[in-house]
Structure 1
């Protein structure tokens, strides 16, 4: 199987992890406030006491599985772009690996937060809440609460694809919109809205880039 095809499957996997994450976010996890600026740490720790495994699964899919698939996608896109835009290919390759590293790091921190809170909660609930809040802040700083690295990479890939005519207009358009959404998460008042634009846009873009790599591969 060619790298382009593998990369396309990785792109579709990234989209699937986002869809899985959104599905739980708007159903089971909605009462806890995840994805909003008003998350209830005490409610989260209370949820962890009986559902630690579910949160670890959620974190593992949206962060760790996503990051591993993302790394493969980054390499595959780099091989596609370098034929027409070698400089852009090198830059986006570096940016993509930085994003993948931040994502997997956020996932590891998120899972440690759940594991430690689950251990502490039965004997010291308040300490468990404080610990979870602290580690969750680290998780958000790495990438769970902003999408700057992802926005820059997706936007950069889209610009390179437009310059080198190596990606279709729909993929480029979706990428530019998604990238802009990611960058706007830097503005606190726009954080939640921009994050939603980025997340939903990323699903569409990952599907578009995945299908492009599978159905219209280059010689890589």
Structure 2
């Protein structure tokens, strides 16, 4: 299997990590009490559900970051001859994004273990610690989508100019990119963040299938 096909497989896996994360969040975690504003209650939830939260972090952060790097490099190989400048700049942002995602996953795992230990002796302190670390995690990989938005926007713009990918795929990528940049504005973030995440499921799968077929 050549590197382009490996990149295609990674694109499908990336889409799968988003689907897994959303499905687990909506189908299991939120109904069980995850995601409220009471940090002490959230600390209790984490301490009682460590295993499933470790699995969730592993998939949506760690695995996603790994396949993102491979996919970005595979796309870079595809575009560098037709649009070298666009490809280089876009790939730089992709690697930055992957690093932020990976850092968020590592921080989430450390937070999970520490909160669980603190909660056994001091629930209030565990809640305060969780609140502080959650803000850091949001800043790294969840609160805004600047790096990911710039990657897909610049990549899709360059591919559109050179017809490296299909026009609908490139327009989809540009829409996702603008949605990602819009998350910098708190008033827009709830809507544009959803567009960014759901749009990337489609785009990852689309690019993955394209790389596998071509």
- State the match for 2:98 in structure 1: 100
How far apart, CA to CA, are the structure 2 residues paired with 1:207 and 1:43?
A: 37
Give the TM-score normalised by the residue count of structure 2: 0.95
Moved more, 198-207 or 157-166: 157-166
Identify which of 167, 192, 195 aligns with 1:194.
192
User: How far apart, CA to CA, are the structure 2 residues paired with 1:130 and 1:57?
Assistant: 24
Q: Could you tell which deviates more after superposition, 62-71 or 19-28? A: 19-28
1:63·1:104 contact (CA, 8 Å) conserved in 2? yes
**Which runs of at least 4 in structure 1 moved beyond 3 Å after TM superposition?**
31-34
Between structures 1 and 2, the one with greater helix share: 2
Work out whether residues 33 and 40 of structure 1, in 8 Å CA contact, stay in contact via their aligned partners in 2.
no
Query: Whole-Å Cα distance in 2 between the matches of residues 160 and 39 of structure 1?
Result: 42
Task: Provide the residue aligned with 1:51 in structure 2.
Answer: 49
Task: Determine if the alignment matches structure 1 residue 16 to structure 2 residue 27.
Answer: no
Aligned pairs for 1:11-160 within 5 A: 11-31=11-31, 32=33, 34=35, 39-160=37-158
Q: State how far apart, in whole Å, the 1-side matches of 2:192 and 2:86 are.
A: 26
Distance 2:37 2:168 in 1: 35
TM-score with structure 1 setting the length? 0.93
Contact 1:48 1:117 in 2 (8 A): yes
Q: CA RMSD in A?
A: 1.3
- Runs (5+) with no aligned partner, structure 1: none
State the 1:33 CA deviation: 5.8
Unaligned runs of 5+ in 2: none
For residues 56 and 144 of structure 2, what CA distance do their matches in structure 1 show? 18
Question: In 1, Cα distance between the equivalents of 2:84 and 2:3?
Answer: 18
